[in-house]
Structure 1
Amino acid sequence: MVDDRLRTPGAVRDAERYTAHNYHPLPVVIASAEGVWLTDVDDRRYLDCLAGYSALNFGHRHPRLIAAAHAQLDKLTLTSRAFVHDQFADFCRELAELCGKDLVLPMNTGAEAVETGVKVARKWGYQVKGVPAGQANIVVAEGNFHGRTTTIVSFSTDEDARADFGPYTPGFTVVPYGDLDALAAAIDENTVAVLLEPIQGEQGVVVPPEGYLPGVRRVCTERNVLFVADEIQSGLGRTGTTFACEHEGVVPDMYLLGKALGGGIVPVSAVAANADVLGVLKPGQHGSTFGGNPLACAVATEVVRLLATGEFQRRSTELGERLHAGLQSLVGKGLVAVRGRGLWAGLDIDPTLMTGRQACERLMERGVLAKDTHGSTLRLAPPLVITVEEIDHAVAQLAAVLAG
């Protein structure tokens, strides 16, 4: 007889009892997964349309990634950056080549990558640009989501993420997302970087106006400011290109990467830039105990090799067209607007019908898992291994939910 505590109601109750309530998860308890499908403790199956906020771009338990992890687990999991291990050079070289940059700095979480980017930009500003000590500032965008550290929430405009965590870190100027004139006006002689998401994920998969990213690139070049692109959610195949910036032919000075880089197995993040930027760091000035560890490098190298084939970028482009066509057919039938690129979509539901949370609960009842954000907005980001039939199934379930 199965212990009732292992079934969904009991497991949910225990989670609520013994865990700080910093999340409000759907009442589903996942026990196993394969590809795009999840199975709960009661043996119900669900189509994963969130993919761990893009951390599972290659699906659950991708065979090549699992094999790489298993092989490395049998040999070496952690040393320290005090030594060099046999997985490190391949990972750094192959990721640098994928990014078209000289150097990479491996870390663990996306927030660590952003913090690293902030530190590197400031140090570059003082040592290379000549900004007076303690005066560096970075321009960021309204609606941003770059993580939840105290520094990062200091320039968040989401009060849920920011409120009551002060005092806040100075040195950031917030401008409207997509407004090139406002961004240019905010840059002064002490500005060291512009930090942006090429597509804002948490805000609801918001794509900036055409020409905005090339304009940011031009302004940054003219004003001797680093363009730092947070591709932690948007990068590594999610939008149909390796990096979302590629859609407009833009190459930033620094990529911030994470989520999918760990293949859904281990937390891996990285900063990629040329030597004139990342080269400002010297031994002892920045680091991480687990950053670039052997297990992480073994898995992430295989991720880079999967991306190097172009297969997943093509899948995202082709299947994304199918997804967006299906979603657009629901505009006026419960959806107000659809945004996004590739296999990434933000959906605004008619708020008179239901909230985003209610939509997610009803989708869950129909075997599809998604995530709401900001009231009546949903985000869909299925693994890139999804099929046409599975996309059509997800759209059909959404249509049924909207029809009531």
Structure 2
Amino acid sequence: MTQTANTSLATSAEIFNAYIDRSWRSNAERQLAKGAEFVIGQREGVYLWDVEGKHRLIDCGAGGGVHALGHRHPQVLAALRQALDDGRDTGLWSVPNAEYLKLQDRLAELAPHPSLNRSVITLCSTLSVDLATMFAFRVTKRQRMLAYRHGYHGHTGFAAIVTGSPEEGIIDHYNLPAHSGFLENFGDIDELDRLLTKEIAAFIIEPMNYETFAPAPIAFLEAASRLCQERGILFIIDETRAGLGRTGTLWATEHYEIEPAMLITGKGLSGGLYPASAVLMREDIYETCMNQHRFAYISSLGGNEISCIVASRVLDLASDPALLNNVVRVGAYLSDRLTEVCKRYPTLFTEVTSFGLALSVGLTRREVGRPLYREIFAAGVLCHSVSEIDPPGLKMFPPLVLTEQQADEIAAALDTAAARVGNPVQSDDDSLRS
């Protein structure tokens, strides 16, 4: 008998049970194992409420950066509504549109290096990684990629072959072609030097360690840029998570003296409201790949008018000095507050790693990660994840509009969670519990 959806589902438990019964069971079970039986109802700014309206969370996951500007940012929402009210829709892929040109020009204007003056607009970062990989294969006439083992670049197409994580990677699951090698140690220049052989078309890396949120060492990224140039390898920076203001500059790449051949942005470029991503690149790469074949890249929806309008508004907001200053100020404040909690619970925590508003609370041992995730969720904070590699850490990725008052709420929730999992060091300062 064919099952049909029950439109009367009203509670988080009912929806989770329906997923387990007839949909993406493993995802629902994974959330339940983390103690996060939660279906989003109302959402606004940094906050989420469950469909019952009873449990409020500060979103410190933000969809990995999709909601970097918070949920339903009023200016992005207004831009989307205006685009629809103006009579726009997704248009036709074969008909040029002015909004695409405007977004391309804006990306070139804001690029971290003048050479990144061309771009292709796609619907998501996975597609952008997929496209960048194909471009690298064409330009170099090679067919092998190099990536960091524990990075994350996507789950379909060529993006999947450069996501080698034993936990999240799907290369073996789908019997994908082995067109990638993996750097095992983030920041290891000697290993990188050994792996960047004449077979490699491109090296793709995030400017921070996906598992720890630690910024890439300056010497490492600068060596990567130099070695790639010397060996005819394209250097691709994936700023899907680290870009658009996350580190206190529009691009994390701005913290380094490097010149990537391509840069990928996405997730947050959508404003959390309409899909948008982009690959920024050098003009010679663009001409070789896009203009030497009549149908070099076709996407029915990529680069449509509405997505370009939304993305342009996001760029305006993400590049605003006021927002970037907030990231620096509140990022440092939150790091300090979390550090205070860590000092109270030395049997649970080590130290806080931060790169703007990407933070990881170090754990003394892996076994406390999941219990802390569950308890801080119960206390009102949805964390990004628990690190899957050593050193273990509880990762936080809050929206960039976070305030100091909301940072206090996060620190207080961590203190509450820690008290339920371990014992604090006695102190005269109980301010975190107030």
Q: Same fold (TM over 0.5)?
A: yes
Alpha-carbon distance in 1 for matches of 2:215, 2:300: 36
One-letter amino acid of the counterpart of residue 94, structure 1: R
Which SS does the other structure have where 2:273 is aligned? coil
Match of 1:370 in 2: 383
- Tell me the amino acid that sits aligned with residue 48 of structure 1: D
Distance (Å, rounded) in 2 between the aligned partners of 1:388 and 1:322: 7
Kindly provide the amino acid, as one letter, of the partner of residue 369 in structure 1: L
Q: Residue 33 of structure 1 is aligned with which of 34, 43, 63?
A: 43
CA separation in 2, counterparts of 1:39 and 1:68?
25
**Counterparts of residues 151-230 of structure 1 (less than 5 Å):** 151-160=158-167, 161-162=169-170, 164-176=172-184, 177-201=186-210, 203-230=211-238
| Match in the other structure for 2:286 | 278
Q: Number of residue pairs matched? A: 392
CA distance in 2, matches of 1:394, 1:4: 34
Partner of 1:395: 411
C-alpha separation in 2, matches of 1:223 and 1:32 = 52
Q: 1:310 to 1:250 in 2, by over 3 A?
A: farther
**Structure 2 stretches lacking a partner, 5+ long:** 1-6, 421-434
Conserved 8 A contact 2:20-2:26: no
CA distance in 1, matches of 2:109, 2:19: 43
Q: What CA distance in whole angstroms lies between the structure 1 residues aligned with 2:325 and 2:174?
A: 44
| Alpha-carbon displacement from aligned partner over 1:85-129 (angstroms, at most 9, x marks no partner) | 232211111122111421110001111111011011111113xxx
Which of the numbers 361, 364, 373 marks the counterpart of 1:347?
361
Deviation at 1:242, TM superposition (A): 1.1
Q: Does 1:331 align with 2:342?
A: yes
1:288 alignment counterpart: 299
* Displacement of 1:173: 2.1
Distance change >3 Å, CA 227–CA 286, structure 1 → 2: same
Structure-1 separation of matches of 2:200 and 2:21: 46
1:150: Cα distance to partner?
A: 4.7
Percent identity over paired residues: 25
| Counterpart pick for 1:312 among 323, 346, 350 | 323
Kindly provide the amino acid, as one letter, of the partner of residue 124 in structure 1.
V
Aligned residue among 252, 260, 266 for 1:244: 252
Q: Which residue of 2 aligns with 1:132?
A: none
Distance 1:162 1:391 in 2: 35
Q: Distance in 2 between matches of 1:310 and 1:287?
A: 36
In the alignment, which residue of structure 2 is the partner of 1:123? Answer: 138
Trace 1:88-103 onto structure 2 (pairs within 5 A). Answer: 88-99=100-111, 100=114, 101-103=116-118
Cα deviation 1:287-315 (Å, max 9, x = unaligned): 21110011111100101111232222221
Question: Is the Cα contact below 8 Å between 1:239 and 1:342 reproduced in 2?
Answer: yes
Contact residue 54 and residue 260 of structure 1 kept, 8 A: yes
> How big is each residue's C-alpha offset from its partner over 1:302-360, in whole Å with a ceiling of 9 and x where there is no partner?
0111123222222111111111112223335122342230011122333376233x322
Deviation at 1:59, TM superposition (A): 0.8
Q: What code does the residue aligned with 1:373 have?
A: V
SS in 2 for 1:31: strand
Cα root mean square deviation, aligned: 2.0
Are the aligned partners of 1:72 and 1:298 in contact in 2 as well (CA < 8 Å)?
yes
* CA distance in structure 2 between the partners assigned to 1:343 and 1:28 by the alignment: 24
How many Å separate the matches in 1 of 2:45 and 2:212? 25
Q: Distance in 2 between matches of 1:353 and 1:292?
A: 45
The residue aligned with 2:430 is none
- Counterpart of 2:191 in structure 1: which amino acid? A
Separation in structure 2 between the aligned mates of residue 326 and residue 235 of structure 1, nearest angstrom: 24
Separation (CA, whole Å) in 2 of partners of 1:309 and 1:372 = 29
Contact 2:164 2:171 in 1 (8 A): no
Q: CA deviation at 1:249?
A: 3.1
- 1:145 and 2:152 equivalent? yes
Kept in 2: contact 1:47–1:394 (CA 8 A): yes
> Is the 8 Å Cα contact of residues 384 and 397 (structure 2) preserved in structure 1?
no
Q: How far 1:52 moved relative to its partner?
A: 1.5
The residue matched to 2:288 in structure 1 has which SS? coil
Q: Distance in 2 between matches of 1:330 and 1:279?
A: 53
- Structure 1: stretches of 5+ with no match in the other structure: 127-134
- Higher normalized contact order (CA 8 Å, seq sep 6+, divided by chain length): 1
Answer whether contact 1:145 1:200 (CA < 8 A) is retained: no
Residues 244 and 319, structure 2, Cα contact 8 Å, conserved in 1: no
Contact persistence 2:42–2:53 (CA under 8 A) = no
Cα distance in 1, alignment partners of residues 329 and 131 from structure 2:
34
Counterpart among 8, 12, 36 of residue 8 in structure 1? 12
Which residue identity is paired with 1:157? G
Aligned to 1:73: 84
- SS of match in other structure, 1:331: helix
Deviates more, 1:135-144 or 1:250-259: 135-144
User: The residue matched to 1:338 in structure 2 has which SS?
Assistant: strand
Equivalent residue in structure 2 for 1:109, among 124, 128, 146: 124
Q: State the SS of the aligned residue for 2:133.
A: helix
Report the CA distance shift for 1:32/1:136 in structure 2 as closer, same or farther (over 3 A).
same
Pairwise CA distance, 1:163: 6.0
Whether the aligned pair in 2 keeps the contact of 1:151 and 1:168 (CA below 8 Å) is no
TM-score, reference length from structure 1: 0.91
Query: 1:144, CA displacement in angstroms?
Result: 1.6
Partners of 2:228 and 2:188 in 1: CA distance: 14
Give the drift of 1:43.
Answer: 1.5
